[in-house]
Amino acid sequence: MQSLQRHTSKCAGGPVHTRKASRAFVSRSSRSLAVKVQSVAAPTALEVTSTASDVPYKMSQVVMWSEGKRLQTQVLPVAEDTITIRSLDWDRDRFDIEFGLENGTTYNAYLIYGADKTALVDASHEKFHNLFLEALQTELKAAGRSLDYIFVSHTEPDHSGLVPAVLDLHPDAVVCGSKVCISFLQNLTHRPFKAQVVKGGDKVDLGGGHVIEFVMAPNLHWPDTMFSFDHATGVMFTCDAFGMHYCSEQPFDADVKTILPHYRFYYDCLMKPNAKSVTTALRKVKDLPYSLIANGHGPLLRYNVAELVGDYGRWSAALSKGSTSVAVLYCSDYGFSDRLSQTLAKGITKAGVATDMIDLLSVDPQELVSVVGRASGLVLMSPPRDNADARTSLAALSSALKPKTKVVIAESYGGKDEPVDVLAANLVDVGAELLAPPLRVKDLPSQPTYQLFEEEGTDLAQALTAKEAMARKKAAMSGDVAKSLARLSTGLYVVTAQHNNARSAMVASWVSQASFEPLGLTISVAKDRAIESLMQVGDTFVLNCLGEDTYAPLLKHFLQRFAPGEDRFSGVNWFPSPTAKCPVLGDAIAYLECRVVSRLETPDHWVTYCEVVGGNVTNTAARTAVHRRKVATYY
Ligand code: FEO
């Protein structure tokens, strides 16, 4: 909550460095929000608007895509000689299935007009084929330019999907990217193109001071990710890093209070599993005088650069300082190995344990030995059969694994997976302890698959830290304080939530009314609870009140330890709530339908503030069960 409150005005915090970035546009915009765009000619297909930003921008017509989803492009200047073409995916509601989106997303690309050369940074998603190419060609024509370079931050299709199409229009453009990136693109395009493999510290001079320096930022969040920094403007192009899935016409981080939950959720899902890589990347860029973060998703960071970049540092450092870590071994670009391993890692980091993400197909064996040697736990995603690189890595793994290392093994759904039973037997032979039978993926991964993987990751982390977590709880308060705190009495409740076909439940007692108008309440949810993923800002759930004479069977059922992915409602009488469509327990005495408004972070819980959107009493004669404790070191 501290960070939610600190940005009360759009200038609070201020940029890290105040160079000349954006100055031309700030002064122009301050004249009038309704001013017509003068800096770039308005093409016929674009409507000139300027309402939500202090920088004038142009919006394209809306194009309808699959199932009535709206697509649109937005073009505006963001720094001297630099414009963005933002592809607005207004209604996208899922990202990689497990990543529910409340506010769509954007794919941000950029044009840099050097004095001599012109460069495009990233190239949007294939679904924007016509919209993006039209905007690109229009801007280049208006500027009297052709494309000399394409800087590809990494090779995920939401940013590189249109690189082949751009090359069709600009066959002489030189594609700059990391070695892995260029190799991937060569496989993707199936045709020759001019390529320049770049390393960290390499520079491309576009003229007029626009010297672009590349910074390798592997695992943020793709193995081949790189940042590009423009020494003329102080703009740092970071693609996925420092992004968020949030689509609006406001191109900048002016309303930080609104976007911060989305920024944090995105970090937790995509960057937290790579916290060590985040720390490394921040160290690499700390001496670069960046003043604007030109990210690949959501609003650009302009007004709160120091705070928001600092958040990445703080969140990552908090996770990295623990002594427990899990090595997550996966195979990039093989089946669903990337996605599923990230989901496992998300579950692990939810429980406060750091992860080291290792690509089995490209890791140096010595590095693998080093990471596995210091890891407390291991996740092994099944690699493709008969792959020489994978075999080398597996041999190194067997030699490095410490006896009694807790291991999770999972299929990658790649079509030719190494059998997981064979992998499990080999690791058990060298002393590993399987946390559970290998995770098998029989169908295209869906939301329940990702829920299963996330919960398995949390289970692994909890198994690794159970003893130390209990010791920490006991050490946190004296016996007298623990007894007096336990004199706070509460009710007994069961929280139930459902998204599509994923649902979960938990017993809750830290519940309190918090507002009259509108009706609001708070519920504290431990960070490593499975249901936490279904209680993000905007999500709905039901609070079921238990009766003092009838609570025991429900409590016994919901307090049992469920296996990852296990249906919490098996054998339970329930019906969907009228508004939120979340489970209402038939044996509850009353229920409240709630929508999450905000979340306040404490060291080990999220205090979830929710508006009450519905409810009813189902047993008017019954009284609410009261929860009393002897000591406050337990719930
Ligand atoms: Fe936004 Fe890694 O793609």
Helix (H) / strand (E) containing 171 = none
pLDDT band for 633, please (50, 70, 90 cuts): confident
Ligand 1 atom nearest the C-alpha of 240 is 1
121 CA from centroid of ligand 1 (Å): 14
Say if ligand 1 is within 6 A of residue 222 CB: yes
Q: Which residue's alpha carbon is nearest to atom 3 within ligand 1? A: 156
- Using DSSP, state whether 411 is helix, strand or coil: coil
CB 401 within 8 A of CB 432: yes
What is the average pLDDT value for the chain, to the nearest integer? 89
Residue given tokens 């000689």 in the structure block: 81
Q: At what angle do helices 256-266 and 305-320 cross, to 10 degrees?
A: 30
Q: Is the pLDDT of residue 3 over 60?
A: no
Residue given tokens 């001071």 in the structure block: 209
Contacts of 103 (CB under 8 A, 6+ apart): 245, 246, 247, 248, 262
232/516 Cα distance (integer angstroms):
53
- Of 453, 461, 463, the C-alpha closest to 565 is 453
Say if ligand 1 is within 6 A of residue 296 CB: yes
Say if ligand 1 is within 6 A of residue 58 CB: no
Q: Which residue's alpha carbon is nearest to atom 2 within ligand 1? A: 156
Q: What is the mean pLDDT of residues 315-326?
A: 85
14 CA from centroid of ligand 1 (Å): 27
156 CA from centroid of ligand 1 (Å): 5
Q: What is the mean pLDDT of residues 579-608?
A: 95
Q: What is the pLDDT of residues 352-384, one digit of tens each?
A: 999 999 999 989 999 999 999 999 999 999 999
Say if ligand 1 is within 6 A of residue 338 CB: no
pLDDT band for 323, please (50, 70, 90 cuts): confident
pLDDT of residue 100: 65
Say if ligand 1 is within 6 A of residue 240 CB: yes
Say if ligand 1 is within 6 A of residue 122 CB: no
Task: Copy the structure tokens of residue 410.
Answer: 């999972």
545/529 Cα distance (integer angstroms):
20
Q: What is the pLDDT of residues 255-275, one digit of tens each?
A: 999 999 999 999 998 999 899
- Using DSSP, state whether 304 is helix, strand or coil: coil
Contacts of 147 (CB under 8 A, 6+ apart): 118, 119, 120, 140, 166, 169, 170, 173
pTM (predicted TM-score):
0.82
> Could you give the percent of the chain with pLDDT greater than 70?
91
Q: Is the pLDDT of residue 406 over 70?
A: yes
Say if ligand 1 is within 6 A of residue 159 CB: yes
Q: Is the pLDDT of residue 164 over 90?
A: yes
Ligand 1 atom nearest the C-alpha of 154 is 2
pLDDT of residue 225: 93
Ligand 1 atom nearest the C-alpha of 243 is 1
Q: What is the pLDDT of residues 216-256, one digit of tens each?
A: 998 898 888 999 999 999 999 999 999 999 999 999 999 99
CB 520 within 8 A of CB 596: no
Say if ligand 1 is within 6 A of residue 298 CB: no
Task: Copy the structure tokens of residue 447.
Answer: 């939301």
Neighbours of 43 (CB within 10 A): 18
| CA distances for 499 relative to 279, 447, 455, 503, angstroms | 33, 9, 16, 6
Q: What is the pLDDT of residues 179-200, one digit of tens each?
A: 989 988 888 778 899 999 999 9
Q: Which residue's alpha carbon is nearest to atom 1 within ligand 1? A: 240
pLDDT of residue 39: 34
221/296 Cα distance (integer angstroms):
12
Q: How many CA atoms lie within 13 A of 587 on its CB side?
A: 16
Q: Is the pLDDT of residue 320 over 90?
A: no
Neighbours of 478 (CB within 10 A): 9
Say if ligand 1 is within 6 A of residue 156 CB: yes
DSSP state of 40: S
